[in-house]
């Protein structure tokens, strides 16, 4: 008889994300073990508890989920966990700190419903946060285009920050990343002018792009906003938008993207239990998202 499916949720926050716990339970696991306030030096004993309690033939029934609101802290935990594995002694891992990987994957896939991103000019407003950076990484990555590379404007209120993020992105994936200043509404309009697709990945409750964007000559054909807290990040987009046509653009709001994000998150959790050697991070999660989308 197969062992029950156990997911161990590891989170650096003082309270592990209830959102992540709920999604895990709804994804068909049998038991959830939840650890909060976890620091890198504590990871080894947690991972050893997962690795050494079941024989190699049953290790695929145990998996780790890494969440947390501070992406940098979660990344340290992830590195510590991967360092614990050797040979067949490993369990599968899913990383989705603050929902950043699943959200970015869903946002890009929604935009792709209206055409390839290859060769296009793409603006990522607030491209410096966890979600914005991952959108830029996916758009640049080979997973999204095998024709000509897109040009990706990575926007920030501070050009120095945009430059730093572009440098970091370039270490992860080859791409045409263009640091772009977008501190004021006029700068955001200029950053969007001439782009075929605009993503807004700004902090909750902040309008980044004023309504005039949709009246600009050559305005974007697709606009995706991830901020669910009014006002929306792109003026005129509604949170429920899921491909609604507004002006010349197909529009997506945070909840419109959120439906696909939830499906990707659940599929990723259930996929963990197929084998014991998976590491599901941004690229793998995007590819899973493409599978989910094609089965929709
Ligand atoms: P974040 O880290 O909170 O913020 C992203 C960027 O927004 C920051 O790097 C900053 O860029 C800019 N920003 C912060 N405060 C600002 C202000 N007062 N005015 C203008 N810009 C400001 O966001 P995130 O975690 O990457 O998430 C992005 C968005 O996705 C959020 O709105 C979040 O709520 C949403 N989200 C949606 C879902 C979903 O399922 N729909 C899931 C997860 C997250 P600069 O300092 O470089 O300008």
Long-range contacts of the stretch 175-178 (C-beta < 8 A, 24+): 175/136, 175/137, 175/139, 175/140, 175/141, 175/149, 175/150, 176/140, 176/149, 176/150, 176/151, 176/152, 177/136, 177/140, 177/152, 178/151, 178/152, 178/153, 178/154
Lowest mean pLDDT among 21-25, 172-176, 195-199: 172-176
267 C-alpha to center of ligand 1: Å? 25
Considering the entire predicted model, what is its pTM? 0.96
The β-bridge partners of 181 are: 156
Residue 172 phi, psi dihedral angles, 5° rounding: -90, -35
What pLDDT is recorded for position 146?
A: 63
Q: How far is the CA of 271 from the centre of ligand 1 (A)?
A: 28
The number of beta carbons lying within 10 Å of the beta carbon of residue 227 is: 24
The 10 Å Cβ neighbour count of residue 229 is: 12
Q: Which among 97, 187, 202, 239 is the best mutation to test ligand 1's pocket, defined by most ligand atoms within 8 Å of the CB?
A: 202
| Residue bearing the CA closest to ligand 1, atom 1 | 203
- Whether 105 is in the pocket of ligand 1, judged by its Cβ within 6 Å, is no
- What per-residue confidence (pLDDT) applies to 1? 78
Instruction: Give pLDDT tens digits for 36-93.
Output: 999 999 999 999 999 999 999 999 999 999 999 999 999 999 999 999 999 999 999 9
The answer, yes or no, to whether residue 135 has pLDDT greater than 90, is yes
What local confidence, expressed as pLDDT, does residue 144 receive? Answer: 66
Report CA(106)–ligand 1 centroid distance (Å): 16
In ligand 1, the atom with minimum distance to the C-alpha of 162 is 47
Query: Picking from 4-8, 115-119, 248-252, 289-293, which range would have the lowest pLDDT averaged per residue?
Result: 115-119
**pLDDT beyond 80 at 163:** yes
Q: Is the CB of 262 under 6 A from ligand 1?
A: no
Task: Give 130 Cα–ligand 1 centroid separation in angstroms.
Answer: 8
CB 125 within 8 A of CB 152: no
Please give the average per-residue pLDDT across 107-129, as a whole number.
Answer: 96
- Looking at 133-137, 140-144, 150-154, 156-160, which range is the least confident one? 140-144
Q: Is the pLDDT of residue 3 over 80?
A: yes
Residue 218: what pLDDT?
87
Flag whether pLDDT at 147 surpasses 80. no
Average pLDDT in the chain:
96
Question: Buried b vs exposed e over 252-275: b needs ≥16 C-beta within 10 Å?
Answer: bbbebbbebbebbbbbbbebbbee
Residue 181: band (very low, low, confident or very high) from pLDDT cuts 50, 70, 90: very high
Q: Return the pLDDT at 143.
A: 62
Q: What is the mean pLDDT of residues 265-281?
A: 98
- Pairing type for strands 279-280 and 249-252 reads unpaired
Q: What is the CA(276)–ligand 1 centre distance, in A?
A: 34
**158 in Cβ contact with 179 (< 8 Å):** no
Arithmetic mean of pLDDT, 25-39: 98
Q: Ligand 1 pocket test: which of 126, 156, 209 has the largest number of ligand atoms within 8 Å of its C-beta?
A: 126
H/E/C letters for each residue in 92-132? EEEECHHHHHHHHHHHHHHHHCCCCCCCCEEEEECCCCHHH
Q: Is the pLDDT of residue 208 over 90?
A: yes
Direct distance between the N- and C-terminal alpha carbons of the chain, in angstroms, rounded to an integer: 33
Query: What are the backbone dihedrals phi and psi of residue 71, each rounded to the nearest 5 degrees, phi first?
Result: -60, -40
pLDDT of residue 145: 65
The C-alpha atoms of residue 198 and residue 93 are separated, in whole angstroms, by: 31
pLDDT tens column, 209-258? 999 999 999 899 999 999 999 999 999 999 999 999 999 999 999 999 99
Q: Give the model confidence (pLDDT) of 277-296 as tens digits.
A: 999 999 999 999 999 999 97
pLDDT on residue 2: 87
Residue 103 CB–ligand 1 contact under 6 Å = yes
For residue 206 the two structure tokens come to 């902040």
Say if residue 196's pLDDT is above 90.
yes
CA-proximal residue: ligand 1, atom 11 (nearest): 126
């Amino acid at each position: 008889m197969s062992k029950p499916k156990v997911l161990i949720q590891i989170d650096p926050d003082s309270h592990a994300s209830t959102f992540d716990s709920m999604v895990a339970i709804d994804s068909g696991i049998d038991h959830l073990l939840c650890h909060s306030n976890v620091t890198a030096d504590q990871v080894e004993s947690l991972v050893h508890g997962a690795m050494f309690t079941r024989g190699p033939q049953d290790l695929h029934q145990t998996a780790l989920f890494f969440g947390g609101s501070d992406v940098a802290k979660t990344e340290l935990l992830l590195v510590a966990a991967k360092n614990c594995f050797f040979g067949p002694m490993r369990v599968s891992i899913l990383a989705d700190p603050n929902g950043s990987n699943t959200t970015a994957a869903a946002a890009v896939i929604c935009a792709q419903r209206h055409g390839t991103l290859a060769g296009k000019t793409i603006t990522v407003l607030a491209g410096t946060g966890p979600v914005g950076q991952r959108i830029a990484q996916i758009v640049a990555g080979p997973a999204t285009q095998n024709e000509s590379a897109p040009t990706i404007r990575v926007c920030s209120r501070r050009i120095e920050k945009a430059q730093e993020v572009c440098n970091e992105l370039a270490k992860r994936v080859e791409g045409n990343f263009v640091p772009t200043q977008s501190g004021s509404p006029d700068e955001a309009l200029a950053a969007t002018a001439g782009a075929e697709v605009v993503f807004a990945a700004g902090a909750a409750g902040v309008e980044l792009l004023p309504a005039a964007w949709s009246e600009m000559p050559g305005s974007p054909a697709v606009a995706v906003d991830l901020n669910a807290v009014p006002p929306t990040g792109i003026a005129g987009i509604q949170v429920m938008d899921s491909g609604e046509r507004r002006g010349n653009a197909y529009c997506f709001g945070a909840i419109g993207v959120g439906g696909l994000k939830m499906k990707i998150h659940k599929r990723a959790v259930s996929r963990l239990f197929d084998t014991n050697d998976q590491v599901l991070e941004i690229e793998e999660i995007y590819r899973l998202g493409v599978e989910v989308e094609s089965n929709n």
